[in-house]
């Protein structure tokens, strides 16, 4: 039997092997690393493991036995005591001196209270054998049941075989932080065919998800004293990445044509033009030209976050700003975390040629070699062999039907309390509440108890200048649910709403 103790650390502190073994064993018992009733190694094996005499181990065992930490009889072995004398033996918590924390971290820490997401809850119901650890209509989820596991395993196994065919003296392939070249080639070909974006592999940097791409770009481009334009409302991850830089944030209002351009003196604008988050509005063609003209006039950079344009179920995708850009003013971000699965942290940034080496340099500071190398190799093969496109087509067929089922459920609610513009893309439906604030709160809390609530979108509008505090917005996720689950969930919402609408006097007052 082998156990891992902090023997070396204690030996460096005390210089005594006996004291080091005693302290490390005692603390392993106190902390729970060694469980009550767990058998300890023999004195011979422990002596061999740590290069000390058997007599020293016996002395330490005797000391621990006398203090009640261990028990046992000759010939039957030594065990951790069932009743530990000091059950609360974790190191004393020391208050962290605030002056040791950087300004950057303090800005990050201030964002904790503003993080998006519903408040904690304790779901009480089960439906169709499923325990709702999360609310049924939570937004941003996909259905892993549709994922082609077999095909992905084949791609992963091929990547492993490829690695093993080469001599790897240090255990790593030397794939640079900017990503596997074959994968960047595959992404470039895919973007040109699907989105009309002409970019060379050298202008693409692979990232560990779009959030890392945002953070790196803001680190490169933003600092205190500069200004960043953000959509209002906008994705919380963009706001967080921008806020921690210390730059001044400017809000660009969003209407039915998308984010409204202005003549701001700013260095950066972060936009979601192809499906605005969270409203789902598509930036009009005229507005796209205005934003590009603003960037050229101001010498600014536009970060275009195309977070879920792959999920369009009808009509034609709008032309990306990156495809329209002729002056190197747009950086395009994409990710595979939703089209594949959330644990696959692979995203990419398509940047102007002058930015490519700078972004690669910044990423290499954190990751000299690419992370997830096997996954990058497998994904390049998965795309090249057509499995990725096939997977997307299957998801879109299913999600289109599920979105229609959600629309039916919302339309059938008594009095249609949610007003929405039917979406034909994305993973959630954005809707505005038309009733009273009190009724909304009652319905939301009631649905949360039943595990069938949605994502409350009101937080995206926090701090609206002159805004109406009684406005409420909802994001209904649907992609991760089968049509029957959606119908059952909306029926549960309808039942909760019928009880509230029938009893409340202010039910239809905006």
The CATH number of the domain holding residue 42 is 1.10.10.10
For residues 253 and 347, what is the distance between their CA atoms, to the nearest angstrom?
28
**Token reading at 233:** 């409302």
Residue 218 lies in a domain: yes
Query: 395 and 364, same structural domain?
Result: no
Number of helices (H), then strands (E), belonging to the chain: the values are 16, 16
Query: 398 and 362, same structural domain?
Result: no
DSSP H or E stretch at residue 270: strand 268-271
Among 384, 386, 401, residue whose Cα is nearest residue 143: 401
- pLDDT at position 314: 85
Among 221, 305, 227, residue whose Cα is nearest residue 259: 305
- pLDDT at position 122: 33
CATH of the domain at 226: 3.40.640.10
Query: 204 and 62, same structural domain?
Result: no
Residue 374 lies in a domain: no
Query: 192 and 70, same structural domain?
Result: no
For residues 105 and 314, what is the distance between their CA atoms, to the nearest angstrom?
44
Inter-CA distances, 351 with 190, 235, 337, 481, Å? 16, 21, 20, 36
Residue 88 lies in a domain: no
**Token reading at 492:** 């549960």
Query: 347 and 231, same structural domain?
Result: yes
Query: 222 and 357, same structural domain?
Result: yes
Report angle CA 41, 43, 49 to the nearest 5 degrees. 70
Report angle CA 292, 250, 335 to the nearest 5 degrees. 60
- pLDDT at position 2: 66
Residue 508 lies in a domain: no
Structural domain including 34 reads 7-80
Sequence-ordered list of residues with C-beta below 8 angstroms from that of 281, at least 6 positions apart, any chain? 254, 255, 256, 257, 258, 275
**Token reading at 203:** 């202008």
DSSP H or E stretch at residue 8: helix 7-14
Hey, what's the torsion of the CAs at 488, 490, 492, 498, to 10 degrees? Answer: -140
Query: 295 and 204, same structural domain?
Result: yes
- pLDDT at position 226: 95
* Residue-wise burial string across 413-451, b where 16 or more C-beta atoms lie within 10 A, e elsewhere: beeebbebeebebbbbbbbbbbbbbebbebbbebbbebb
Residue 149 lies in a domain: no
Query: 471 and 427, same structural domain?
Result: yes
Q: Are 160 and 350 in contact (CB under 8 A)?
A: no
Report the number of distinct structural domains present in the chain: 3
For residues 320 and 168, what is the distance between their CA atoms, to the nearest angstrom?
41
Residue 375 lies in a domain: no
Query: 332 and 197, same structural domain?
Result: yes
CATH of the domain at 406: 3.90.1150.10
For residues 412 and 11, what is the distance between their CA atoms, to the nearest angstrom?
71
- pLDDT at position 152: 96
Residue 148 lies in a domain: no
Alpha helices in 224-320 (DSSP H): 236-243, 285-298
DSSP H or E stretch at residue 348: strand 347-350
Query: 407 and 313, same structural domain?
Result: no
What tens-digit pLDDT sequence spans the chain (510 residues)?
A: 567 788 888 887 777 888 889 998 988 888 888 888 888 888 888 888 888 888 898 888 888 888 888 887 666 788 888 666 554 445 555 566 667 888 888 888 887 645 544 433 333 333 333 333 468 999 888 999 999 999 999 999 999 888 777 655 444 567 888 999 999 999 999 999 999 999 999 999 999 988 999 999 999 999 999 999 999 999 988 999 999 999 999 999 999 999 999 999 999 999 999 999 999 999 999 999 999 999 999 999 999 999 988 999 987 778 999 999 999 999 999 999 999 998 899 999 999 999 999 999 999 999 888 888 899 999 999 999 999 999 999 999 999 999 999 999 999 999 999 999 888 899 999 999 999 999 999 999 999 999 999 999 987 886 554 445 568 999 999 999 999 999 999 999 999 999 888 765 444 443
Query: 339 and 427, same structural domain?
Result: no
Secondary structure in 3-state letters for 381-434: HHHHCCHHHHHHHHHHHHHHHHHHHHHHHHHCCCCCCEECCCCCECCEEEEEEC
Query: 231 and 133, same structural domain?
Result: no
Residue 53 lies in a domain: yes
Q: Are 410 and 431 in contact (CB under 8 A)?
A: yes
DSSP tag of 476? E
């Amino acid at each position: 039997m082998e156990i891992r103790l902090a023997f070396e650390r204690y030996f460096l502190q005390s210089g005594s092997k006996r004291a080091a073994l005693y302290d490390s064993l005692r603390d392993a018992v106190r902390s729970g690393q060694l469980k009550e009733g767990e058998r300890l190694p023999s004195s011979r094996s422990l002596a061999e493991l740590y290069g000390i005499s058997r007599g020293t181990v016996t002395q330490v065992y005797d000391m621990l036995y006398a203090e009640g930490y261990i028990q046992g009889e000759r010939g039957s072995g030594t065990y951790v005591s069932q009743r530990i004398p000091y059950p609360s033996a974790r190191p004393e918590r020391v208050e962290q001196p605030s002056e040791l924390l950087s300004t950057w971290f303090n800005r990050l820490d201030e964002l904790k209270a503003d993080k998006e997401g519903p408040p904690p809850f304790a779901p009480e119901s089960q439906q169709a054998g499923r325990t709702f650890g999360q609310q049924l209509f939570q937004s941003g989820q996909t259905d892993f049941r549709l994922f082609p596991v077999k095909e992905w395993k084949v791609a992963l196994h091929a990547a492993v075989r490829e690695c093993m065919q080469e001599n790897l003296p240090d255990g790593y392939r030397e794939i640079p932080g900017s990503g596997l070249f074959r994968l960047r080639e595959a992404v470039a070909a895919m973007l040109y065919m699907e989105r009309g974006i002409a970019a060379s592999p050298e202008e693409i940097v692979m990232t560990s998800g779009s959030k890392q791409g945002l953070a790196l770009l803001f680190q490169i481009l933003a600092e205190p004293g500069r200004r960043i334009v953000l959509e209002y409302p906008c994705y919380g991850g963009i706001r967080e990445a921008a806020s921690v830089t210390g730059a001044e944030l400017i809000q660009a209002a969003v209407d039915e044509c998308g984010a409204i351009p202005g003549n701001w003196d700013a260095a950066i604008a972060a936009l979601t033009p192809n499906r605005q988050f969270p409203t789902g509005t598509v930036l009009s063609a005229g507005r796209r030209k205005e934003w590009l003209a603003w960037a050229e006039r101001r010498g600014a950079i536009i970060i275009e976050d195309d977070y879920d344009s792959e999920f369009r179920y009808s009509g034609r995708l709008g032309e990306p700003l990156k495809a329209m850009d002729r002056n190197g003013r747009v950086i395009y971000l994409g990710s595979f975390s939703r089209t594949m699965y959330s644990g696959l942290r692979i995203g990419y940034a398509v940047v102007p040629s002058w930015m490519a080496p700078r972004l690669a340099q910044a990423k290499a500071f954190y990751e000299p070699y690419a992370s997830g190398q096997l996954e990058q190799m497998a994904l390049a093969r998965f795309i090249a062999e057509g499995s990725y496109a096939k997977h997307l087509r299957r998801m879109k067929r299913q999600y289109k039907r599920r979105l229609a089922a959600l629309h039916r459920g919302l339309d059938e609610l008594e009095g249609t309390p949610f007003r929405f513009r039917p979406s034909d893309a994305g993973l959630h439906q954005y809707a505005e509440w038309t009733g009273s604030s009190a009724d909304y709160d009652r319905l939301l809390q009631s649905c949360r108890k039943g595990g069938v609530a949605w994502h409350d979108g009101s937080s995206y509008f926090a701090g609206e200048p002159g805004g109406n505090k009684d406005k409420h917005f909802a994001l209904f996720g649907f992609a991760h649910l089968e049509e029957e689950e959606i119908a059952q969930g909306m029926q549960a919402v309808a039942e909760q709403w019928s009880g509230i609408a029938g009893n409340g006097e202010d039910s239809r007052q905006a």
